[in-house]
A and B are shown apart, each in its own frame.
Chain A
Amino acid sequence: MNMATIIALLAVVLIVFFAVRYIVKSKKSGAKCIGCPESGSCCKK
């Protein structure tokens, strides 16, 4: 396995890990739409 492959594999794992973590955290904090600047506050009653 060459260096480029190792770096690419690591990059994929890290990117996916952080992306999924962000999605899960956003959903837990009540966001309906990921990345939305309203962050779910538009839906509060």
Chain B
Amino acid sequence: MRIAFAGNPNSGKTTMYNALTGMSEKVGNWAGVTVGRKESPLKEEYSHGQEVIAVDLPGAYSMSPFTPEEGITSEYVRERHPDAIINIVDATNLSRSLFFTTQLLELGVPVVVALNKSDINEKENTVIDVAALEQKLGCPVIKTVSTEKTNSGLKELVDKAISLNGKGQVAPYVQADIDLHDKNQVDAEDRKRFSFVNDIVSQVETRQTLSSKSNAEDRLDSILLNKVSGILIFAAVMWLVFTISQAWLGPLVADWLVGYIEGFQEWVTEKMADSPAILTTIVADGIIGGVGAVVGFLPLVMVMYFLIALLEDCGYMARVSAVMDPIFKRVGLSGKSVIPVIIGTGCGIPAIMACRTIRDERERRATAMLSTFIPCGAKVPVIALFAGAFFAGAGWVSTVSYFLGLVLIFLGALLVKVVTGYKYRKSFFIMELPKYKIPSIKRAFFSMLERAKAYIIKAATIILVCNLVVQLMQSYDWSFRAVEEGMEHTSILASIASPFALLLIPLGFGAWQLAAAAITGFIAKENVVGTLAVVYGLTNFIDVDELAMVGGANEISVAMGLTTVSALAYLFFNLYTPPCFAAIGAMNSEMQSKGWLWCAIGLQLCTGYTVAFLVYQIGTLITEGHLGQGFVPGLIAIAVMACVVFMISRRIRADFDRQYALHGGKIPA
């Protein structure tokens, strides 16, 4: 038996799905968290030994899809004929939710309505007459609270859905036989349905808190959604998140963890004193050192995920979308583009997938192209490494990295707008703001653990294998002879990375080791740290005591031979060049256009290169009074990039004019 979970966005479908199946799919207190279909068997305690598959669907306001992810829901319940539908209704917003319910009831599939978030109704003294609602809708209605362990109503809900297997459904409202291509007829029919729903709500619901009255939430919104104070508060909140995770609490825990990893590495080296040197290097430096360097940053990432999960849960992140909407609109995006950007702080892949909630194709592709400019969790170790080694752990490095990412999204969108001739089209943004709530520490904790588990698995698999390969390539030359100490530049790794290093001279970091680390970063961004650990033979990137004592001029900065300016340029190069291959693959499937994909990769490469070039050259001019190495070749490279963008823009505009021209593309004399 298959039970589909359908309902409006942010009605609590995935929370209920997780509670019933034991899964831990991503939940969030805003509309549009789920953008794909998910399936899993119900827990034994709910299915009573039967095979019952729960299908979690993206939120939808109606059966007429408005956005691509709404289309998934509509297509599934219409075409795949589930055995029953559990319609999750936000009990705090009955009139809006029942529009979709009445459409589901018309499909003939048995429906059980879950009156979710009933606990909030009780707090607000809103009473819903469940028996009357059941009678009006012609289907069972059960009060539920998915977040409760006991008395959640979930058992009763599932039992009812299972008992309806094989039965039909009578609709209380049947849509008239209208021409669905006629907008006026569809509008009139929708109004009739709304009137039917409002009539039901007026009979079954008694409210103490009227939406027309201003309450504490509205007053808070007036501050958080204000176009000046809203942005200032957002900047302050994000600064606090990055500073706590990457400068205060995170490094303290990481320092302790790294101490153990370093101790283990020393112990292994000691035990292998009589083993062949190459084997000791592979085990101690390649595997333990490389993986340990990445794992050492885990506490920083965990603290950041925990804080962001709290912000998501309390309802603040949805407000950020509304605040950013006017700014993003100026560059051809909208507040909808903010959701992928926020998700992108965790991982670029779900961020790109979240672009499905954007209806406009150009806006959707532009957001997918640009959202990875926000540093994801995998880039946190890279930021923390450079902030620690070159800037004495200064919190401003991560804050600047994230806000520069936002600025690049803004500028990139502006460029896409100019190149695609956006002025011909319009964009709009409608978003339902969720209620504020006290964030669940438990949920944030588990969300953090999930991410930590993923990070460890990645370190123990893909990063371990990469580090091993890097170590072997550094230890041998092309004749497969072991490279002697001091002759690393003759290794396989050096010979592959050196040509790339030449291109990086105008950016201030023309060493083959740094080029190799940047290249392995395309497999997984954590690899930048792992590879640097292997090629420079360093493990302890987090030494709070040393940083405090010497303020940056430490072992790491000495080994890499970078100035603070070139270190910042290298950091930005790694942050703003294309993301890992997995994220590029996600971009490919979401954009569904090879042209857009290659433009995205090109734009990101040009952006990373240009930002690093500007930081290094201007920074060197300010700090040392002269331009850095390779200024002219770098300038030529950037001029070539600008010419390519100009040519693409001209071509798109010419195609556009040809498409809409009335006189064969020529202006008559």
Partners in one complex: yes
Chain A interface residues toward B at CB < 8 A? 2, 4-5, 8-9, 11-12, 15-16, 19-20, 22-23, 26, 32-38, 41-45
* Interchain nearest-CB distance for B57 vs A (Å): 11
B451 within 8 A of A: yes
How long is the Cα–Cα vector from A41 to B35 in the complex, in angstroms? 10
| B36–A41 touching, CB < 8 Å | yes
Most buried by B among A2, A32, A42: A42
| A8–B37 touching, CB < 8 Å | no
| A34–B26 touching, CB < 8 Å | no
24 contacts between A and B (CB under 8 A): A4-B271, A5-B272, A8-B283, A11-B283, A15-B287, A16-B464, A19-B460, A19-B464, A20-B465, A23-B465, A32-B349, A32-B586, A33-B524, A33-B580, A34-B462, A35-B453, A35-B455, A37-B451, A38-B26, A38-B347, A41-B36, A44-B36, A45-B36, A45-B37
Q: Which residues of B contact A45 (CB under 8 A)?
A: 36-37, 72
- The residue from B274, B468, B589 contacting A43, defined by CB atoms under 8 A apart: B589
Q: Which residues of A contact B37 (CB under 8 A)?
A: 44-45
B38 within 8 A of A: yes
| A33–B347 touching, CB < 8 Å | yes
Given contacts A33-B580, A37-B451, A37-B453, contact A16 B349 (CB under 8 A): no
Given contacts A4-B274, A20-B465, A37-B451, contact A42 B353 (CB under 8 A): yes
Residue count of chain B within 8 Å CB distance of chain A: 44
How long is the Cα–Cα vector from A33 to B457 in the complex, in angstroms? 11
Q: Which residues of B contact A37 (CB under 8 A)?
A: 24, 26, 450-451, 453-454
Q: Which residues of A contact B457 (CB under 8 A)?
A: 22, 34-35
The 7 closest A-B pairs by CB, nearest first: A35-B457, A35-B458, A5-B275, A33-B582, A35-B454, A44-B36, A37-B450
Among B17-39, those with CB < 8 Å from A are 24-26, 35-38
Instruction: Convert B449-489 into 0s and 1s, putting 1 for each residue whose CB lies closer than 8 angstroms to a CB of A.
Output: 01101111110111011001000000000000000000000
| B465–A43 touching, CB < 8 Å | no
Given contacts A2-B275, A5-B272, A35-B457, contact A41 B465 (CB under 8 A): no
B282 within 8 A of A: yes
| A36–B349 touching, CB < 8 Å | yes
B585 within 8 A of A: yes
Q: Which residues of A contact B451 (CB under 8 A)?
A: 37
CB-CB nearest in chain B for A8: B283
* Interchain nearest-CB distance for B14 vs A (Å): 11
* Interchain nearest-CB distance for A35 vs B (Å): 3
Given contacts A2-B275, A5-B272, A42-B36, contact A35 B349 (CB under 8 A): no
| B454–A5 touching, CB < 8 Å | no
Known pairs A32-B582, A42-B350, A44-B36; list 6 more (Cβ under 8 Å). A19-B460, A19-B462, A22-B457, A34-B457, A42-B353, A43-B349
Q: Which residues of A contact B353 (CB under 8 A)?
A: 42-43
* Interchain nearest-CB distance for A39 vs B (Å): 9
| B350–A12 touching, CB < 8 Å | no
How long is the Cα–Cα vector from A24 to B279 in the complex, in angstroms? 26
B276 within 8 A of A: yes
How long is the Cα–Cα vector from A9 to B275 in the complex, in angstroms? 10
Q: Which residues of A contact B349 (CB under 8 A)?
A: 32-33, 36, 38, 42-43
CB-CB nearest in chain A for B68: A45
| B271–A15 touching, CB < 8 Å | no
CB-CB nearest in chain B for A2: B274
How long is the Cα–Cα vector from A32 to B462 in the complex, in angstroms? 12
Q: Which residues of B contact A12 (CB under 8 A)?
A: 279, 282-283, 287, 468
| B464–A15 touching, CB < 8 Å | yes
How long is the Cα–Cα vector from A39 to B253 in the complex, in angstroms? 28
Most buried by A among B275, B280, B468: B275
CB-CB nearest in chain A for B40: A41
* Interchain nearest-CB distance for A22 vs B (Å): 5
* Interchain nearest-CB distance for A14 vs B (Å): 12
How long is the Cα–Cα vector from A2 to B578 in the complex, in angstroms? 46
* Interchain nearest-CB distance for A15 vs B (Å): 7
- The residue from A2, A8, A23, A44 contacting B461, defined by CB atoms under 8 A apart: A23
How long is the Cα–Cα vector from A44 to B38 in the complex, in angstroms? 8
Q: Which residues of A contact B36 (CB under 8 A)?
A: 41-45
How long is the Cα–Cα vector from A5 to B547 in the complex, in angstroms? 36
CB-CB nearest in chain B for A36: B454
How long is the Cα–Cα vector from A4 to B25 in the complex, in angstroms? 44
* Interchain nearest-CB distance for B375 vs A (Å): 16
How long is the Cα–Cα vector from A38 to B59 in the complex, in angstroms? 18
